[in-house]
Structure 1
Amino acid sequence: MDTSTVVPFSAHLPSSPARDGFDTSATAAIAVVNVVVPLSAAERELAQLRARVRELSAELVQAQEAACRHVARELHDGVGAELTATRFALAGVETWLPADAPPQCAAALAVANRSLDAVCAASRQAVAELHAPSLESGIVGALAHWTGDFAARTQLRTSFVCAADVRLTRLPADAALAIFRVAQEALNNIAKHARAESADVRIETSRRHLTLIVADNGIGLTRKARSRRGHFGLSGMLARCAAFDGTLRVSARRVAAKRGDGANASRGTLVRARFAWDAMLADAPCAEQRALQS
């Protein structure tokens, strides 16, 4: 690492009459000194530890994605096949049911078919979520499509707002996937636990960071949620942020909601996931090169 500090300075000789045939009234040339400030042992160790954290986080993310692909295949090929066989079996029972069968038989078959429909729908949704999304249109297109599907599926008012930043179009696939997965997990948590009416997704950018913000107007961070440790989804979000020199913060959201006594209530949860541009774009030229060669 170049830790040189350039310190320019100029020295001016005092104006005086010429002596010994030399004119000493001329201004001396500007001198430039490079002062090398080496990193301390502690700073070097800290940099190495940060690099190791990024490496381990990236390995954890890769393992999670591999597990997702494996579970998706098992659900599609194994569970999906069994559900199809069950559906044919129930159809056969309904066909062979005698005309004078008790009405409870037909009612039981109807319940079984409704339950099977629900399981099939849940299985299809799980497979869709486990598979990596199509990032051909970039992270903005992928998130816009996902939030639209989320709103239709959950009936929550959902919005997606994104900063106009050309760097978003240059994100490598692994960085775009990390942002998408954090947003996906945050939205799924809202659907499962928040009891919210709305969810808002926003991407903000600065010179050094991209920040993903997911907010809801639900019940907020309950005591049970605060005391829960080792949550798989949260640890995955943390790892995806850490893999790109980022951080994750989950906090209570202040929402102006009128109570019966007219006072304002505090409702909702705010997720802020921050990613460093330098870490995300580090492999961008390599990714673009591979895309051109393929």
Structure 2
Amino acid sequence: MRAGITAGKDDKARRRRLARRLIAVQEEQRLRLSRELHDDLGQMLASVALELHAIRADSAELDTRLARAAHLIDQLSARVHDAAWSLRPADLDRLGLRACIEDLASMLCAQLGVPCDVDLEALSRPLEPEVALTLYRIAQEALTNIGKHARPSHVSVTAHIWDNKLRLAVEDNGHGFDGNIAPGSHHLGLAGMKERLALIGGELTVETAKGKGTAIYADVLLSD
């Protein structure tokens, strides 16, 4: 009986190591694509924009068309930058998880014009790379969903540690939704968060109801 329990634990540990390696490979691919977008395509677009801005035509009509083309290039450059950031935020390695999630929350609440309570002191401690990446993606998805659907008057992003467990909580007092309905296409983000967290042995809990806001809790066991 004991041998069977040990074998089960070993199998679970192997699956977790494989899952973590999968996350690492995915993020390496994201990082490479992010750098290619930012460094190569971004630089090319910047060069084209400079050329267009520098051109002076002989006719007002051509000047207007060149100005419009330059504006479109500027917009495309901004979208490439956003895509590169979304694939792999460069500041995650440089500034750390706490600062990056604080930036996400600040940007969202500034856009919505609502107050935001942020307490992420618990994220100042070093975390395994795959754990930090997963928590960042969950915060990113949760805050994006708030911006798209919730229409809140208040947002809260907090992290706490107890009993060797880290909990990241993203809460709002917005529209909420019926949590008893089976997830449809508009809930695929939640399903993705659950799957991603499960890969590192974590658990996602969603508490919501129509008109009652939404609370998303991401729980992860910390390594000793």
Q: Compute the TM-score of the two structures, normalised by the length of structure 2.
A: 0.75
**1:119 alignment partner in structure 2:** 76
Whether 2:175 is the aligned partner of 1:213: answer no
**1:59 alignment partner in structure 2:** 21
**1:268 alignment partner in structure 2:** 213
**2:53 alignment partner in structure 1:** 91
**2:127 alignment partner in structure 1:** 171
Q: Which protein shows a greater Rg?
A: 1
SS of alignment partner, residue 248 of structure 1: strand
Name the structure with the higher helix share: 2
CA shift for structure 1 position 215: 1.8
The 5 Å alignment of 1:67-86 reads 67-86=29-48
Question: 1:122, 1:212 → 2: CA distance?
Answer: 29
The 5 Å alignment of 1:1-294 reads 39=2, 41=4, 43-93=5-55, 95-98=56-59, 101-102=60-61, 105-129=62-86, 130-134=88-92, 139-152=97-110, 155-162=113-120, 169-221=125-177, 226-228=183-185, 231=188, 234-235=191-192, 237-253=193-209, 266-277=211-222, 281-282=223-224
Identify which range, 131-140 or 111-120, moves more after superposition.
131-140
Structure 1 residues 126 and 222: CA distance shift in structure 2, 3 A: farther
Structure 1 residues 225 and 45: CA distance shift in structure 2, 3 A: same
Structure 1 residues 107 and 145: CA distance shift in structure 2, 3 A: same
Structure scoring higher RCO (CA < 8 A, sep ≥ 6) equals 2
* Preserved contact between residue 53 and residue 67 of structure 2 (Cα < 8 Å): no
Question: 2:187, 2:25 → 1: CA distance?
Answer: 17
SS of alignment partner, residue 91 of structure 2: coil
Kindly provide the CA deviation profile for residues 120-143 of structure 1, in whole angstroms up to 9, marking residues without a partner as x: 223223333423534566543443
SS of alignment partner, residue 217 of structure 2: strand
CA shift for structure 1 position 183: 1.4
Structure 1 residues 124 and 270: CA distance shift in structure 2, 3 A: same
Kindly provide the CA deviation profile for residues 125-175 of structure 1, in whole angstroms up to 9, marking residues without a partner as x: 33334235345665434433443344445645333124x66x952434443
CA shift for structure 1 position 69: 0.6
Q: Compute the TM-score of the two structures, normalised by the length of structure 1.
A: 0.60
Q: CA RMSD in A?
A: 3.6
Question: 1:252, 1:233 → 2: CA distance?
Answer: 12
Question: 2:51, 2:63 → 1: CA distance?
Answer: 14
Question: 1:222, 1:109 → 2: CA distance?
Answer: 50
SS of alignment partner, residue 125 of structure 2: helix
Question: 2:135, 2:9 → 1: CA distance?
Answer: 24
Kindly provide the CA deviation profile for residues 218-241 of structure 1, in whole angstroms up to 9, marking residues without a partner as x: 443479992129947853x33542
**1:27 alignment partner in structure 2:** none
Identify which range, 145-154 or 241-250, moves more after superposition.
145-154
SS of alignment partner, residue 2 of structure 2: coil
Q: What stretches of structure 1 of length at least 5 have no aligned partner? A: 1-37, 254-264, 283-294
Structure 1 residues 124 and 275: CA distance shift in structure 2, 3 A: same
Q: What stretches of structure 2 of length at least 5 have no aligned partner? A: none
* Preserved contact between residue 90 and residue 113 of structure 1 (Cα < 8 Å): yes
Question: 2:182, 2:42 → 1: CA distance?
Answer: 33
